[in-house]
Amino acid sequence: MAKPMTMSQKILAYHAGKEYVEPGDLIFANVDLVLGNDVTTPVAIKEFEKIGVDKVFDKDKIAIVPDHFTPNKDIKSAQQCKMVREFAKKYEITNYFEVGEMGIEHALLPEKGLVVPGDLVIGADSHTCTYGALGSFSTGIGSTDMACAMATGKCWFKVPEAIKFVLYGKKTGWTSGKDIILHIIGMIGVDGALYKSMEYTGEGLKSLSMDDRFTIANMAIEAGAKNGIFEVDEKTIEYVKQHSTKPYKIFKADEDAEYSQVFEIDISKIRPTVAFPHLPENTKTIDEITEKIYIDQVVIGSCTNGRIEDLRIAAKILKGRKVKKGLRCIIFPATQNIYKQALKEGLIEIFIDAGCVVSTPTCGPCLGGHMGILADGEKALATTNRNFVGRMGHPNSEVYLSSPAIAAASAVLGYIGSPEELGMKGDEE
């Protein structure tokens, strides 16, 4: 009789050609997609060239997205992008996305249908865990592993233990996927899932949109996890059918699979949550913030919260209102398609009328790159994923993390607050 396995164990076993793998096993597995960006790919290219092969393992199974310092912010970033561009051309990489057709990598790949349920995906970027929302095993790796995978189509893995999160209830008011993951990280800590798989199940999934799930899976790494993964349901299949023609395979955890911990979470009780400097685990609900924290900048976007739902929520709050005098609000649609959709729906006009800056898709200030770097002593509220010391600029600056709803309301208020303070009861639509 087959031994019970979690979703992650099953995907890893399948790709390693094994009937069973257990936590701690070191395995060699075939990957379905290898991802790199303009920061990590140049290092991988140098290593790839040392291997001495004359072609990549599969030009359709590599994705390269220059999104961090693009459009080129300076000469160094221009040189890196040139190197990546020439590599993609030389090896005829099908899924190389130039500026103008690209987006933030972790929003772009699902949209382009490059990841489907059951896939094993590696990316030289820590937020590669985002695709777990689709029921795939996806995780971040280093540039050297990226180089080897581009040559061989394989990568080594240590099979992780898993933590099971059983979600029940329905989201209420302005609560979103971002609030759920900030609540979880606040509960277990930034190392609470260290090298483990965070596996999501339960009837509460029904009230989570795909955009919510991408956000939750995206921040698995902020809990120290190897990956985050959602059980596949009708919403997943509907999304995949809209975006992809690739065949997919659904892996469901066995009823008696072993988990190192099990958490049951009533999402109807979760309130909008803010992570205080300088760790994503330093969380307070909006009701627990008693002092007025005045801010200099609001950033709405990133691979965590730059999707169309995020922009719709922000626009709903900013419509007919103005960004507080003296505050900068910068909005980053995560892909060109999301940008186009936001234009069609009139969201961009709402943002500009409110006094926001709207940027082309880029990671921008999230990693302290460009397009919104903080000065000495400045405070920002961002829908991004990390708020470490100096993450968005000066070591003396501070970053708070929130959902788009809290970010948009705070841009109007001038301090960290909620749409309720603007007389908006809750996003009931």
| Partners of 262 in the β-ladder | 164
Residue 369's pLDDT is what?
Answer: 83
Q: Is 3 helix (H, G, I), strand (E, B) or coil?
A: coil
Answer yes or no: is pLDDT of 23 > 70. Answer: yes
pTM: 0.95
What integer is the mean pLDDT of 49-59?
A: 94
Q: Which CATH class is domain 8-249+256-266?
A: alpha beta
- Cα→Cα distances 409→91, 110, 284, 297, Å: 47, 29, 17, 12
**pLDDT of res. 388:** 79
Residue 371: what pLDDT?
A: 85
| Band (429; pLDDT cuts 50, 70, 90) | very low
Predicted local confidence at residue 325, as pLDDT: 96
DSSP H helical segments within 244-334, as ranges? Answer: 302-305, 308-318
Binding residues for [4Fe-4S] cluster, by number, are 303, 363, 366
pLDDT value at 427 more than 70: no
Delimit the CATH 3.30.499.10 region(s) of the chain: 8-249+256-266, 273-422
Q: Looking at residues 110-120, what average pLDDT do you find?
A: 97
pLDDT tens string 289-347: 999 999 999 999 999 999 999 999 999 999 999 999 999 999 999 999 999 999 999 99
Query: What tokens were used for 39?
Result: 């920061």
Rounded average pLDDT over 129-156: 97
**Residues of each annotated binding site:** 303, 363, 366
Question: How does the average pLDDT of the chain come out, rounded?
Answer: 94
What tokens were used for 188? 């277990």
Q: How far apart are alpha carbons 371 and 95 in whole angstroms? A: 26
For β-strands 196-201 and 227-230, DSSP reports them as parallel
Across the range 200-219, mean pLDDT stands at 96
Q: What average pLDDT score do residues 106-134 get? A: 96
At residue 363, the pLDDT reads: 85
Which residue is it, tokens 């997609």? 33
Q: 273-422 has which fold?
A: Aconitase; domain 3 (3.30.499)
Q: What is the pLDDT of residue 201?
A: 97
What pLDDT does residue 308 have? 96
Q: Mention every residue, 6+ apart, whose C-beta is less than 8 A from residue 42.
A: 80, 83, 84
Residues 6 or more apart in contact with residue 368 via CB below 8 angstroms: 390, 391, 392, 393
Phi-psi bin for 169: left (phi > 0), alpha (psi -120 to 50), beta? left
